[in-house]
Amino acid sequence: MSASTTTHDTPRKPRLRPFRILSLAGGGFLGLYTAKVLAELEALDGTPLGRRFDLLAGTSVGGILALALAFEIPMAEVVRLFLDRGREIFSARGMPGTRVGRLLDLSRQVMGPKYSGRALFKALAQQLGERTLGEALHPVVIPAVDVSRSRTKVFKTPHAPASRGDEAVRAMDVAMATSAAPAYFPSVRIGEHLYADGGLFAVAPDQVALHEAEHFMGIRPRQVRMLSLGTATRDYRPETPVEADDGAVGWLDGGRLLLTLVSVQQQHVEAMMEDRLGRRYLRLDASWPQGRGLGIDIATPEAVEVLTGLAERTLAELPLETLRKRFRIGAGRPSRTDRAAAPASQST
């Protein structure tokens, strides 16, 4: 055979094991939406959801949820915490309807944080107790900000040699730190430093999680499958008119500054991750329900109803086959195709 007709087999790249990441965004009481979706996914799967992922990541309320998953606290219990304790942790009042009311609401966080954090600490202590990050059942990364030194911080379980150092830190302290939104909750002291909400730099910790997997755990990007959950802030629009010369009152009115930060960070991260991972990235979120009285710290029965409805709508539209194939969620249950093809049972 001549050289011109000689063929050479191109060696195939070895098939790498998929590496599955779950990333949970921040958003205060809006995290009830995320918790409801997670609880239904856990019920669908029939096992603790943390077992379906190789790495968990969460910021702010998403950090609380990620830690709950890392310790296999049932998501249904976390949903119950939102429903039973939400008005103690946040506010039982709705969004003020008048400008005077909104100014009075703003005045509650001028000289100090709006909430003491004691109710949140009590709730977390009941769920997480004295357990440390080193005792977590699944790897997790939790962004926060060291406000003592104006430095980012990612708390980690000791899941890789270069990820050690936080194993003795109590999980409930990390949960308090990542959710300590400035002007809403006090900063949290861990060791010699004060920490605040990780949402200051990573509301949606998707890129933090991918960096952890790639640079600290030796995972190649083509191995990664990521499921990312938002907090119902897609397409957020302020409830009051936006003016070019808005000052502090205009930006803080109705939580506008924080909600804008939450929404645009999630929007940006979603675009970045779609470019990095393509079809291996799945984002679940709901569009902001304009005029329905939602907010970062609004925990009224009306807010519960709206957030629950948004979660139910997301669940009704879930790409179940994608969840099953990419993330093994519900892998032990018959798929829609299987159920449709199965013969009807015959009575005798």
Phi, psi for 190 (deg, rounded to 5) = -130, 115
60 catalytic per annotation: yes
DSSP 8-state secondary structure symbol assigned to residue 93: S
Tracing tokens 């902001």 back to the chain, one arrives at 288
DSSP codes of every residue in 166-213: -TTSBHHHHHHHHT--TTTS--EEETTEEEEETHHHHSSTHHHHHHII
Task: Tell me which of 197, 253, 285, 297 is the catalytic residue.
Answer: 197
Q: What is the CA radius of gyration of the chain?
A: 22
* Cα distance between residue 19 and residue 102, in whole Å: 46
Which ranges of 199-291 would DSSP assign to H, the alpha helix?
199-202, 206-211, 248-252, 256-277
CB contact burial 269-302 (16+ within 10 A = b; e otherwise): bbeebeebbeebbbbbbbebeeebebbbbbbbee
Cα torsion 96, 100, 102, 106: sign = negative
- Catalytic site includes residue 206: no
Return phi, psi of residue 258, to 5°.
-70, -40
Which position among 23, 60, 187, 228 bears the catalytic label? Answer: 60
Phi, psi of 328 (to 5 degrees): 65, 15
- Asked whether the beta carbons of 39 and 79 are under 8 A apart, the reply is yes
Active site residues: 60, 197
